[in-house]
Structures are given as C-alpha cells and as structure tokens.
C-alpha cells in the first residue's frame, strides 16, 4: 500500500515540529504506528523499509536516518529533515520500492 497522497485532508497533525523540525501526521502509536513525516516531502514511516535509495539518490540531501526502535518494518527511517531544500526532481519517489514517499510542489512547506 502506497503513501496516501491526500494525507493532509485525511489525517490530523500529530506534532507540528518534531526534534528534526518535521511535521508528523497521525495516527501515531509507537513503536508500531509512526505516521507520515513531512509535508512537502512526505515519508510514510509505517511502510518505509529503510533501503536507503532515497538518501543515496537525493541530489540535495533532504533525508537523514532516524532511529525507530521496535518498528516492525525497520528500526531506522528516512526523515525528510531538510525538505525545504527539495528541488522537486522526484528521484526519491521514483526509487522508493514501496511508494512510501510523496513530493508535492503545490503543498505547504516550501520556502
């Protein structure tokens, strides 16, 4: 199942700004349910497998690894900690094997 492209309408904000400066969209119930992280560049932590393709291919280093101990899919995730740097190239979307990433240039979060 891919990330919900309409998460801003379908989910509530769980946290305006986490320790990495990223908005988290619920529901969140750790460690199993971690929600969607980011707005312009959004990563569904519940389906992210942490294969690292997005970190490797992003030309502007939008992503950072964060620890997610106890999550059933992986114990690290790709946090879009620098989503304001995104240039909308869509490489992260293209390489994500489980469609856990959505980039939308029309969404809030751009500076």
89 annotated to bind ligand:
yes
3-state secondary structure the chain: CCCCCCHHHHCCEEECCCCCCCCEECCCECCCECCEECCCEEEECCCCCCCCHHHHHCCCCCCEEEECCCCCCCCEEEECCCHHHCCCCCHHHHHCCCCCEEECCCCCCCC
First to last CA, the chain: 30
71 annotated to bind ligand:
no
96 annotated to bind ligand:
yes
54 annotated to bind ligand:
yes
14 annotated to bind ligand:
no
Annotated binding site: 20, 37, 48, 54, 58, 86, 89, 92, 96
**Annotated binding-site ranges for [4Fe-4S] cluster:** 58, 86, 89, 92
Q: Which residues are annotated as a binding site for Zn(2+)?
A: 20, 37
What residue numbers does the annotated binding site for [3Fe-4S] cluster cover? 48, 54, 96
């Amino acid at each position: 199942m891919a990330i919900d492209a309409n998460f801003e309408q379908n989910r509530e904000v769980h946290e305006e700004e986490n320790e990495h400066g990223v908005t988290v969209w619920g529901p969140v119930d750790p460690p199993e349910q971690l929600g969607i992280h980011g707005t312009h560049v959004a990563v569904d932590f519940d389906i992210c497998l942490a294969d690292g393709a997005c970190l490797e291919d992003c030309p502007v280093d939008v992503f950072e690894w964060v620890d997610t101990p106890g999550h059933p899919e992986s114990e690290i995730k790709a946090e879009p900690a620098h989503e304001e740097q995104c240039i909308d190239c869509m490489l992260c979307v293209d390489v994500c094997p489980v469609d856990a990433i959505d980039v939308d240039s029309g969404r809030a979060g751009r500076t």
